[in-house]
Chain A
Amino acid sequence: MSTRKLVVIGAGMASGRALEHLFEAAPGQWDVTLFNAEPRGNYNRIMLSPVLSGEKSYGEIVIHDDDWYAQHGVTCRFGEKVLSIDADAKLVEGEKGVVPYDKLLIATGSTPFIVPLPGHDLDGVIAYRDLEDTNRMIDAAATPGARVVVIGGGLLGLEAAAGLRLRGMEVTVVHLMGHLMDRQLDESAGFLLRKSLESRGIDIRCGANSKEILGENGKVRALLLDDGTELSCDLLVMAVGIRPNIALAKEAGLATGRGIHVDGQMITSNADILSVGECIEHDGAVFGLVAPLYDQAKVAAQTLLGTHATFVQKQLSTKLKVTGCDLFSAGDFAEGDGREDIVFRDPGRGIYKRLVIEGHRLIGAVMYGDTADSNWFFGLIRDGTDIDDMRETLIFGPAYQGGASADPLSAVAALPPEAEICGCNGICKGTITDAIAGGATDLGAVRAQTKASASCGTCTGLVEQLLQVTLGDAFQMPAAQPICGCCDLSHEDVRRLIKAQELKSQEAVWQELGWKTRNGCHVCRPAVNFYLLADWPLEYRDDPQSRFVNERKHANIQKDGTFSVVPRMWGGITTPAELRAIADAAEKYAVPTVKVTGGQRIDLLGVKGEDLPGIWADLNAAGLVSGHAYSKGLRTVKTCVGTDHCRFGTQDSTGLGVKLEQILWGSWTPHKVKLAVSGCPRNCAEATCKDVGIVCVDSGYQVGVGGAAGMDVKETERLGDAATEQEAIDLTVAFIQLYRENAKYLDRPYKWVAKVGLDWVKARVVDDLDERARLIAAFDLSQSIYRKDPWAEEAKRAPAFQPVADLTLEAAE
């Protein structure tokens, strides 16, 4: 058989594999000329990251060396760019001359995407694509004190970050999305990955938008974010994605879209030109991982050999090459109707596994910390295996299939005696079972004797299971109610652990406290959202999606789907101008009912959802803000007229009410909070049935707390007496903050005080002046974030506002 001429453009992994197949099947049949813009042959580009980190050498990742090319008679034209393809004449023109072909294989790969930020062309701004980029980073790392900013928290960006950190650089990763590797991981796995990378000293900035690259003398100096943050750097690495390199093919007249169009045989729109790798587009898809590239290479070789083969897109899996970050992701793990999640977490070992099932099949998997069974799960996804028979034990992997018990106790029973149960105190199973055998028959006794579960408490469930395993029916599981079915912990435990473990995000709570669901439910999410924002006002951002519908819509939804709108009237005081604005708004938006409320406000009932932004904007323009009549927060401070007008008034009750409301408004609390200030013991403002009620007397202010006038009716109890107005304010603010920091979500203050005891509250708010000052300072800090009008924020977004479809009802007020 005569030798045929094959020209290959691009010596990457895809074309290299194609040549291997070709030479193996038909040695000597092809006279190959191989162009490569890089001055070298085929190397394992995927493993550049370990070369960057020093965990591999370049020599180890060379796939084809000079000997290999010589052995197969390949004419190497490395370091020579191809200038053009003449598809009619079947010629390829390189910088050093023209080469004719019978068949042409285009494998031009991809080019890194450079975000066109101002300053992107400064010296020191690089992409991360090839050995030159890698060596440049290694050289930069050798400079003492050198800083690098990596834009992009995907696979490549994080590998670059970890490698540069290992080499001693100060590294910041800037990622536009809310969590790392957002295309491959869900939020929970992203949280664990972030935690691991931050523990290496890498500064991670998620949700960060780059605005400009700042330079000095033509060299990069810093990255400026759109929030004004300036991140100084000596090197800026952009790792935000790749684009198929299609310029040559396009100029040659081949059909292109996002990539070079190929059919199932890897043939382009020209029958003599094939294409493989990251430069192609097949059936609407482009490719960045190596597995499909190797499949394409095999098909291309067979097409060249005249054998029929067809490229089929398959499921892909992902691996991050950072030692110690063990993660796996495959398939589709987006939420969707008809999809079911199975979640397993082991906070002690930093393990998270989530399987997504649709119908009878596993369609996606995300894992962090333990990926030992990833091959097996990947096989189930790829093969579309019916998993119905192993659904109950699927998450535990292949070792648990084939009749193993689904009983979680069996896993605990199977643990060896030396297995560590309590990570905080290093207590192993044997120590606990010895204590149980010695008479410690409840959790408290085990804690006292062994210290197991005495610190962070996350192993409490395991210790209780050990009690069950050891004592059988003689052990009764404690009756403490968990928040919901998503976890084993009570509200109080969750609050305590959020503080003790400094958990500052929902993902941290789900993972570290062993949530059994992916991201909670309608019961636990609002509670956890509140606990987080109350404990970490600066670090945590309120999550509107974790709020009840009224709080999301900043209005009370009514039984007909309309809303009620209540503007704030400080202390129940208003003005003619405000009343006119309210009247105008009521007329303009055809409000059917205008009602004066028990809290001394005016309620506009029957506002249509689509009118909310407009009515808010009109009321804002008149100086009125949201009355938060819908919130788990401060509602109203009701006052009587006090010394200004009343013959019996002893103090300026109205003035105090206005001050209190202006201090407290906007704060989120476990449940709604209502205040009142009465100017004298005649108590016209009905202060003695409020959450906080102040009764003014000649000698000062009697501050009562824990009143109720709803489902339960209860008189306030005296927290303390204040001689001055400022002291009355201080006592009130400290009490509210103590309530915010400690109460169970949806416990009104009277329920909370009944649980902890008024003496406990007094000890902190009244007697301990340092603690009172701390509480006030903590409240002020929180209010620096939350004392703002949500209506104004929402009104700005008016065009995007959509009426809610979710008409979940809550008692209208």
Chain B
Amino acid sequence: MDGKIDTPTDTFIQVAEVWVPKDDVLVYAAGDTNGLGAFEEASRGTRFAKGEGLPGKAWAEARPVVLKGFDGSYFKRTEVAKEAGLSAAVAVPVFDGDTLKAVLVVLCGDDAERIGAIEVWTANRDGLLMLDDGYYGAAEEFAFVSQHTCFPRGQGLPGGVWAADAPILMRDLGSGYKFVRASAAGKAGLTSGIGLPVRVPGGTPYVLTLLSALGTPIARRFEVWAVKRGGKAVLIDGVCEREGALWRDDGDGTRAEAPKAEAWKGPVGQVLGTGLPVVQRGAGGLPAGYGAFVGLPSYGGGAMTHIVAWYI
């Protein structure tokens, strides 16, 4: 690669924050407020008790929470968010068994041109995955179709993640699928998507999906890491606008050449080392051409199992 810095694309997610429990409240641990200084200042000065505000609600209800309008809601930083042009937010709790490790909050703008989707899916009594809630920006038709779509285990991105109990990165959402939702995704320009299981106490299945459009992508680089014993992780999938495919696989079952990460080394290593979501603004340690990083760990069986990372 030539190392040329691309012109930054306007991304779907504007702000990402990590909130961690401390003395029975959630405190701001790190964030990328994308230059929205007033919002960052407000966040640093805020605490959330269990059940309070968006992060506190995700903690108390032990589930991902989508909030599509701040006015009149439990959102505590409404005024400063509105001033920053933010209008929707999603809080994703990270549990290790019964213990809350952190809450990742992402906030999106209210631009009428902004296309993308952040969705939370959960199983109904019939064993089908239904949309719990989602934020779609300007992709209204796709939002409508998604609200009326359900997925059995193993079908589609949400059903595939549910069945695999592992993150899945899909390349081509728009064609070759049975679902009406697929053609709606194609029409909306949603081309790729990543889905990951959100494990919560009680075992209710939740699947978080981030669907990306070319014009306002969620990110320009996605990575999925499998966490191994001894604080190491192996890259099992990834795509990058600049470098293309990131995975290495000759199909012989040993993946000897797959890129690896170690605790505390590099941004993925920070996720491994801290055991928490990591949000970073600044190019240090990031691949050439990228200036921001979000790494989201998931836990199962008492240990971290995967890290999903995206780069902007």
Contacts and interface: CB of A to CB of B under 8 A. Distances in A.
A binds B: yes
Interface string A15-59: 000000000000000000000000000001011000001111101
Contact of B253 (A196, A317, A399): A317
Contacts of A372: 228-229
Nearest to A54: B170
A169 B166 contact: no
Given A55-B168, A324-B166, A418-B302, A167 B176 contact: yes
A142 B175 contact: yes
A318 interface: yes
B98 A426 contact: yes
Interface in A339-380: 348-349, 372-375, 378
B229 A399 contact: yes
A489 to B, nearest CB: 22
Interface string B291-312: 0000000000110000000000
B119 interface: no
Contacts of B98: 418, 426, 428
Contacts of B178: 141-146, 167-169
Interface stretch (A199-207, A240-248, A547-555, A787-795): A199-207
B160 interface: yes
A59 B239 CA distance: 11
A379 to B, nearest CB: 9
A324 B163 contact: yes
Contacts of B170: 54-55
A168 B155 contact: yes
A764 B166 CA distance: 47
B172 A199 contact: no
Interface string A141-169: 11111100000000000000010011111
B244 interface: yes
B212 to A, nearest CB: 14
A420 interface: yes
Contact of A56 (B97, B165, B245, B301): B245
Contact of A399 (B164, B172, B230): B230
Nearest to A167: B177
Contact of B163 (A56, A200, A319): A200
Contacts, number: 151
Nearest to B300: A349
B156 interface: yes
Contacts of B22: none
Contacts of A321: 249, 251
Contacts of B160: 53, 166, 200, 323
A168 B177 contact: yes
A669 to B, nearest CB: 37
A370 to B, nearest CB: 9
A196 B176 CA distance: 24
Given A168-B155, A323-B160, A375 B251 contact: no
Interface residues of B, number: 47
Contacts of A44: 249-251
Contact of B97 (A138, A375, A419): A419
A289 interface: yes
Contacts of A373: 229
Interface string A322-350: 11110011100000000000000000110
Tier of interface size on chain A: 35 or more
A472 B144 CA distance: 60
A48 to B, nearest CB: 10
Contacts of B250: 44, 46, 290-291, 294
B237 interface: yes
A289 to B, nearest CB: 6
B177 A328 contact: no
A324 B306 CA distance: 12
B165 A324 contact: yes
Contact of B164 (A168, A323, A330): A323
A139 interface: yes
A290 B244 contact: no
B155 A166 contact: yes
A294 B153 CA distance: 37
A142 B174 CA distance: 10
Contact of B176 (A139, A145, A324, A378): A139
A394 B212 CA distance: 45
B8 interface: no
B244 A142 contact: no
B244 A165 contact: no
A378 B176 CA distance: 38
Interface in B60-112: 96-99
Contacts of A200: 153-155, 159-160, 163
A13 to B, nearest CB: 9
Contact of A165 (B154, B175, B176, B239): B154
9 contacts: A55-B237, A57-B171, A138-B176, A142-B176, A146-B178, A201-B152, A202-B154, A290-B251, A291-B250
Interface of B: 96-99, 152-156, 159-160, 163-166, 168-173, 175-179, 201-203, 228-230, 237, 239, 244-245, 247, 249-256, 301-302
